[in-house]
Amino acid sequence: MERTSFKSVFIAVFIGTALLVVALLFNTHRPQRDTQQPQAEFVRATGKCASCHLRETAAVVHQFERSKHASLGVSCLDCHRPVAGQQDYAHRGFTLAKQLSAKNCSQCHPSEYQQFLRSRHAAPAWAAVYGASDFSAAQIAHAEKYHQGAVQRPANKLAMLEGDSATAVGCAGCHDIGKPNADGSIGNCTDCHARHSTSVALARDPQTCGQCHMGPDHSQIEIYHESKHGVLFSTQRNTLNLSATPRELTTADMPIPTCATCHLSGLDGLRVTHDTTERLSYWLFAAISHKRPTYVQGRNAMQEVCLKCHAATHVDNFYTEAEQVVADTNTKVKAGKELMQELRAEGLLTAKPFDEPIEFLYFDLWHYYGRTAKHGAYMGGADFVQWHGNYELLLKMIKMKEMARELRQRQDKR
């Protein structure tokens, strides 16, 4: 009798514990939000994908759980269902798009997509490498309205010389931000927002822009790191509210600017823009920098951002000094360009690009050091204006003159 009762208590406890363990196991396999605040609507929309994907690609579900999309009930299917022009396939009882693009996001964010489409991040970025041939006539016409000559252009000569694999994995690794998609849309939004976290905090982090805006030809991230702004950001970032809702972002959330603050954010009532051209006044990336057609609007729009944190005299002085660096850099690059033109006229260089050492030297002169000096001046990088900029401009010009002398001497001896 005693033994049976012990046995039945043991069995009851065992079964009870086992049930509890099973229930716990089951719950840990459900999305956190689902278990903490079960909402019928959310479970209906996302539950099936999420409960299965917690066994397959769990990280995707955990990233999604933390997103604003999840908290607002945007479901897996809202993004993954095919939209017009996309190929579909059957997947576990659902119909999904084979390849997602900016078009899926633009269903719910049409104005962000339209702004993005006007920017150089769209068609011009792809055309900078591959030329116009991958775009439709309508796409070319749209982009050329805002950036004349930026899409209607031949493929890049250096890229073509380096070959397909270098271009596909190298150049396109950054320039695919504006890749034309099979569904007729352009580019992707996930380079800055990521697929499942889709967060503004990520997009506001300078490192996100620094994925592509880095290296000697566009050292923006390096310049930022050494600027007062960048130093303050790295020491005080945990005091900032990087997740603030864009339309409500104030200098209380972010008293220190990141790339996004100056180029895209709506700060203290300014309008958010996905057109990164709106606040620019010069074509700094060009060998010789001219004013953009939108010079006045661009300068004013950027200064409006500075003025949220600085006094007008401070900003005016900064711009006067930076414009002087642009003018002086133009003079130095022009001297190099004229020397190249003389050598060509004298028949000392072939018509082919990038087949003689002096062509590389001239390319480095403007493409690395000229640009760096100008970018450093506008974004607070003294070292880049000086040692990675003007010092190298001087050195490369002396080397170019030496090479020109040698070419001319060889000609005389013949």
The residues in 196-215 that bind ligand HEC, with binding defined as CB under 6 A, are 196, 198-200, 203-204, 206, 208-215
| Residues numbered 265-294 forming contacts with ligand HEC, rule: CB under 6 A | 265-266, 272, 274, 276-277, 280-285
- Given candidates 86, 128, 219, 329, which one binds ligand HEC under the rule CB under 6 A? 128
By CB under 6 A, tell whether 103 contacts ligand HEC.
no
Of 323, 334, 213, the C-alpha closest to 262 is 213
Shortest Å distance, C-beta 247 to ligand HEC: 5
Q: What is the C-alpha to C-alpha distance for residues 262 and 304, in angstroms, rounded to an integer?
A: 9
Residue whose pair of structure tokens reads 């760096």 in the numeric block? 372
Tokens of 216: 């000697």
Shortest Å distance, C-beta 252 to ligand HEC: 10
By CB under 6 A, tell whether 61 contacts ligand HEC.
yes
Q: What is the C-alpha to C-alpha distance for residues 405 and 196, in angstroms, rounded to an integer?
A: 58
Of 296, 247, 312, the C-alpha closest to 112 is 247
- Given candidates 150, 287, 358, 404, which one binds ligand HEC under the rule CB under 6 A? 150
Which residue lies nearer to ligand HEC by CB, 175 or 332? 175
Which residue lies nearer to ligand HEC by CB, 215 or 293? 215
Q: What is the C-alpha to C-alpha distance for residues 146 and 293, in angstroms, rounded to an integer?
A: 10
Q: What is the C-alpha to C-alpha distance for residues 74 and 197, in angstroms, rounded to an integer?
A: 12
By CB under 6 A, tell whether 145 contacts ligand HEC.
no
Shortest Å distance, C-beta 273 to ligand HEC: 8
The beta-carbon contacts of 27-33 under 8 Å, at least 24 apart in sequence, are 29/54, 29/55, 30/54, 31/61, 31/64, 31/65, 31/70, 32/62, 32/65, 33/65, 33/70, 33/71
The CA-to-CA distance between both ends of the chain, in Å, stands at 120
By CB under 6 A, tell whether 142 contacts ligand HEC.
no
By CB under 6 A, tell whether 195 contacts ligand HEC.
yes
By CB under 6 A, tell whether 389 contacts ligand HEC.
no
Mark 375-401 as b/e (b = at least 16 C-beta within 10 Å). bbbbbbbeebbeebbbebbeebbeebe
Q: What is the C-alpha to C-alpha distance for residues 272 and 247, in angstroms, rounded to an integer?
A: 7
Q: What is the C-alpha to C-alpha distance for residues 362 and 403, in angstroms, rounded to an integer?
A: 11
By CB under 6 A, tell whether 52 contacts ligand HEC.
yes
By CB under 6 A, tell whether 306 contacts ligand HEC.
yes
By CB under 6 A, tell whether 140 contacts ligand HEC.
no
By CB under 6 A, tell whether 118 contacts ligand HEC.
no
By CB under 6 A, tell whether 99 contacts ligand HEC.
yes
Shortest Å distance, C-beta 94 to ligand HEC: 4
Of 258, 263, 259, 291, the C-alpha closest to 275 is 263
Q: What is the C-alpha to C-alpha distance for residues 245 and 7, in angstroms, rounded to an integer?
A: 60
By CB under 6 A, tell whether 329 contacts ligand HEC.
no
- Given candidates 232, 288, 403, 407, which one binds ligand HEC under the rule CB under 6 A? 232
- Given candidates 240, 249, 373, 385, which one binds ligand HEC under the rule CB under 6 A? 249
Q: What is the C-alpha to C-alpha distance for residues 382 and 375, in angstroms, rounded to an integer?
A: 10
Judged by CB under 6 A, the number of residues near ligand HEC is 123
By CB under 6 A, tell whether 131 contacts ligand HEC.
no
Shortest Å distance, C-beta 294 to ligand HEC: 10
Region binding ligand HEC by CB under 6 A among candidate stretches 6-14, 17-25, 34-42, 187-195: 187-195
By CB under 6 A, tell whether 381 contacts ligand HEC.
no
- Given candidates 380, 392, 400, 404, which one binds ligand HEC under the rule CB under 6 A? 380
Shortest Å distance, C-beta 400 to ligand HEC: 22
